[in-house]
A and B are shown apart, each in its own frame.
Chain A
Amino acid sequence: MTATPAARPRSPATGYWTAFAVVVGLLIVAPLVLPPFWQRFATEILVWGLLAMSSDILIGYTGMVSFGHSAFFGLGMYGAAAALLTVKPPSLGLALLYGLVTAGAAAVFVAYFATRLRDIYFAISTLVFSQIFYVIIFTWTEVTGGENGLTFSQPRLTIPGLWSDRFTPVTFHWFVLAVVVLSYLLVRRITQSPFGMVLQSIRENEPRTRAIGYPVERYKIVAVMLSGLFAGLSGVLYALQNKFAAPDFVFFVVSGEVVIFNVMGGMGTLVGPFAGAAFFLLLREGLSRFLTEYYLIPLGIIFIIMIIFLPQGLLGFLRRRLNT
């Protein structure tokens, strides 16, 4: 992107923040007016959207396609499970902490190896690492519960010294919304910071970035780590919502869906992945009513058509606007 802060026009920014406030406002009201099924659905879109957004840091901003985000997501789930099963009484803060630490550590490990590779080799190596985690989790039954996964009870929503209550679907939605909005603002800030600009310059021209003197590998490792942390965060949220951690979520299919969300919504926009997740999940919901598990046939075809004819995704045309 060539936009510099000095050249930034005033009006799109206010338009952007108005739209932002409207969307957040709608999402706050959503659980109060929606029936229980759609309430849960809205929460799920936020969680998957957060995962997709974490992957957008790599796909859209650094130009690296990760096919291994399921590993970070799944390890976030298992991290949360570890905290909730071993520490009494179950604590929300510790679940978040454990999940983030597990996912972040895994991300650094993967990044150390994978960032030395480029393009499809990066994609394949992230895929392979996620499969390694999958095999370990799947076969290490004593610790991870193997195929059955782990189940646990939901912790209470506690703000230390102030308040403690059980989660209801509505408060859980608000909790997820708060986490997601904070993450979004944080990632947005990061991508607009000098650090984010370097990432984008890696996407545009890696050799030149290196020639200017930036340690490209180090930037990439940090980018993967950040991405892994937010993916882990969404994993924790998903685990909290469903009260279980299962190896299915470490499997490659989840990574594939994350990439689909990004492509459908628009890479490099941060909100695009949320739109993509919503679009995908709504389509899935609508199609699976008639087609049960075969919904992926039309959905896959729609996905292919979008790659060919709409490479920018649903929100790609807003890219300029969203990044100012």
Chain B
Amino acid sequence: MDQIIIQTLHGLVNGMVLAMVASGLTLIFGIMDIVNFAHGDLLMLGAFVGATVVGVTGNYWLALVVAAIVIAVLGALLQITTLRPLIGRDPLTTILATFGVSLVIQKYALWQWGPSVRRISEPVPGEFTLFHLQYPWYRVATAVLAGLILGGLWLFLKYGKYGIWIRATTQDRVMAQAMGIPVPLVYTAVFAIGSAMAAASGVLFGPFAGVTQTMGFDFTLRAFIVVVVGGMGNLGGSILASLFVSLLESYAAIVVSPAQAVIVSFVVLVLTMLFRPTGLFVPTPK
């Protein structure tokens, strides 16, 4: 029983971080039809930038902001140089291109920061006792922070002027263009926002397990799973799906080893694609 509560908490915390990762991916997919294979690697790069800033200044919050800005700029540059020329081609070519980007980023990180694990020190000290187990506060704080950032993103998309531009482009890019929305600029901005979300979640995740240059692929895959399970391009759906998948994985980790618990989310994904390809947490399309 204790274990179930601990794992529930664990699953919720992981789920919130995952939701942040997936929100960037789903934003990019929903608007640009781009399956961003480099998403996890942008996350990893963000985490490394964050770790470096923490190492220099010792300020975690500064690191979060700096990492998000640096990676947002990088994301914008990437979009302009590699993805803009591919607009209008088969969406599969964007998978290939971002896969190439992912290789380059991963090896760059290896070159720049080396193969060892970097730790980002915990921003919030202390632990609280849950039954007989110590649970660190910073994990809860991370989940809350992720929730706040996601809420901010949602408000921005819902009420902000540029958020409305973005949603208009999602719905009908030709019409949006006709109404005077600079669609190419929106694309670049969306990619930058998505990258910033990835970087921020990388910094948030940093204190959990450390930062390595190979962490990206795992996140890319999980974010994909969540985005498909939640319904492509649907922010609310992917948040629910992140929590759902993370909770399932946490519970599975009670029975089998965490490495094998990943299979649970794979199975969820396959079942979703087979029986409800529009996503679990979206209304049935008419």
Contacts and interface: CB of A to CB of B under 8 A. Distances in A.
Interface stretch (B46-54, B62-70, B125-133, B268-276): B268-276
A169 interface: no
Nearest to A65: B92
Interface in A66-120: 67, 113, 116-117, 119-120
A252 B260 CA distance: 17
A263 interface: yes
Interface string B153-166: 00000000000000
Contacts of A131: 221, 262, 266
Interface string B113-130: 000000000000000000
B97 A120 contact: no
A128 B93 CA distance: 19
A296 B89 CA distance: 25
A311 B93 contact: yes
A185 interface: no
A139 B259 CA distance: 8
A259 B110 CA distance: 23
B85 interface: yes
A198 interface: no
Interface string B245-286: 000000000000101101100100110011001000000000
A162 to B, nearest CB: 46
A256 interface: yes
B221 A120 contact: no
Contacts of B89: 311
Interface stretch (A16-24, A45-53, A299-307): A299-307
Given A125-B273, A293-B107, A296-B103, A308 B97 contact: yes
A128 B217 contact: no
B86 interface: yes
A294 interface: yes
A149 to B, nearest CB: 16
Given A120-B35, A135-B262, A307-B86, A300 B92 contact: no
A252 B274 contact: no
B185 interface: no
Nearest to B93: A307
A300 B277 CA distance: 32
A297 interface: yes
A38 interface: no
A227 B228 CA distance: 26
A113 B274 contact: yes
Contacts of A256: 99, 103
Contact of B108 (A113, A125, A139, A297): A297
Nearest to B217: A252
B97 A307 contact: yes
A165 B58 CA distance: 67
Contact of A132 (B91, B100, B263): B263
A135 B228 contact: no
B221 A127 contact: yes
B233 to A, nearest CB: 12
A256 B107 CA distance: 15
B144 interface: no
B96 A307 contact: yes
Contacts of A65: 92, 95
Contact of B259 (A119, A138, A299): A138
